[in-house]
Amino acid sequence: MTPPKRLLDELDLTDDEFRALAAGLNMQVPPEAKTAVWKALQSKLPPAAAAATATATATKAAATVTAAKMGLAGVVFGTAVSLAVVGGQSLLTAHSPATTPRTRLLTTRAPVKHDVGGSRAESAPATSGSAEPSTKSIARDRTRETAPPESVKQAPQPAVRSPSIASFPLTADSELNASSVLERRRVADARARLLAGDARGTLVAVDALRRDFPRGLLDEERDELNIEALLALGELDTARGLAVQFLARYPASAHAGAAKRALK
């Protein structure tokens, strides 16, 4: 029996289907929810368990009220992964054998250096002790999610803590979470445009990346593409300005080639 392919891997996936799935995959958990539910739980658990925290006074109703105050009347939906129409179709075809260059870009690029200390480090695959697949978090803003709630901080901490949203790996690419898969596809698409001589298209793709992944894992690559596209268009002053910012922000970046060329 042939195992079915995932819908996201289907070549005939429409833009709407892709966007809907991507939005669902990137659904975020409100950062305050963990604390609020934990506090409320204390009043419902036996005293021994509740004693784990000293702040156990909230009720279930209080949780709802707290949540409402925090803006949980609806779940906070996650990362904006809505795609530019022109980019979306290209991404969909990134799986296609006919798009080998882009697929190759997706699979052979060097590991991305994470630039934000601490928060990105938490996105590393969980080590032993995790009961879940060791994947990175899906949510874009994982720094909020992985920060333990105040009340939980008071409880005994597990020896190894995995990212809380690490339970939803995407397809066979187990190293990547859904958000980073999407981001990588978008970056690969932007690079493919540049390689194809479409520098303006690259800038459009870069702008879309900056909009949809404002704290993306691939910020360095994105900014590198931005500079390369500007260089290709002859917009040297703008490229130099961005290059200075790039080198100041990522002094040891593996993607500093374009910035250095711009400043020569």
Partner 1 sequence: MTFEEVYQRHFAYVWRTLRYLGVRAADLPDVTQDVFVTVHRQLPEYEPRAKITTWLFRLCMTAAHNHRRLARFRRESLEPTNLEARADAPLNPTARLERDEDLALFNTALDALDPDQRAAFVLFELAGISGPDLAETLEIPLGTVHSRLRLAREAFRRAVLRERARRDTPVLRVRRSR
Residue 23 vs residues 3, 4, 138, 197: alpha-carbon distances, Å: 25, 22, 11, 31
Does 164 sit near partner 1 (CB under 8 A)?
yes
Does 30 sit near partner 1 (CB under 8 A)?
yes
Q: Which of residues 211-230 bind partner 1 (CB under 8 A)?
A: 211-212, 214
Does 157 sit near partner 1 (CB under 8 A)?
yes
DSSP conformational letter for 28: P
Q: Which of 90, 91, 99, 169 binds partner 1 (CB under 8 A)?
A: 169
- Taking a C-beta distance cutoff of 8 angstroms, is the pair 10, 164 a contact? no
Phi/psi of residue 27, each to 5°?
A: -55, 130
From 37-45, 106-114, 218-226, 245-253, span contacting partner 1 (CB under 8 A): 37-45
Q: 85-92 and 15-25 are packed helices; what angle lies between their axes, rounded to 10 degrees?
A: 90
From 111-119, 132-140, 195-203, 240-248, span contacting partner 1 (CB under 8 A): 132-140
Binding-residue pattern over the window 227 to 256 for partner 1, x denoting contact by CB under 8 A: ------------------------------
Residue with Cβ nearer partner 1 (67 or 94): 67
Q: Which of 86, 168, 198, 232 binds partner 1 (CB under 8 A)?
A: 168
Q: Which of residues 4-23 bind partner 1 (CB under 8 A)?
A: 4, 6-8, 14, 16-17, 19-23
- Tokens found for residue 73: 């009347």
Cα torsion 13, 202, 139, 156 to 10°: value is 150
Binding-residue pattern over the window 54 to 93 for partner 1, x denoting contact by CB under 8 A: ------x--xx-xxx--xxxxxxx-xxxx-----------
Does 24 sit near partner 1 (CB under 8 A)?
yes
Q: What is the DSSP track for 147-216?
A: SPPHHHHHSPPPSS---TTTT-B-TT-TTSBHHHHHHHHHHHHHHHHHHTT-HHHHHHHHHHHHHH-TT-
Q: Which of 152, 204, 232, 233 binds partner 1 (CB under 8 A)?
A: 152
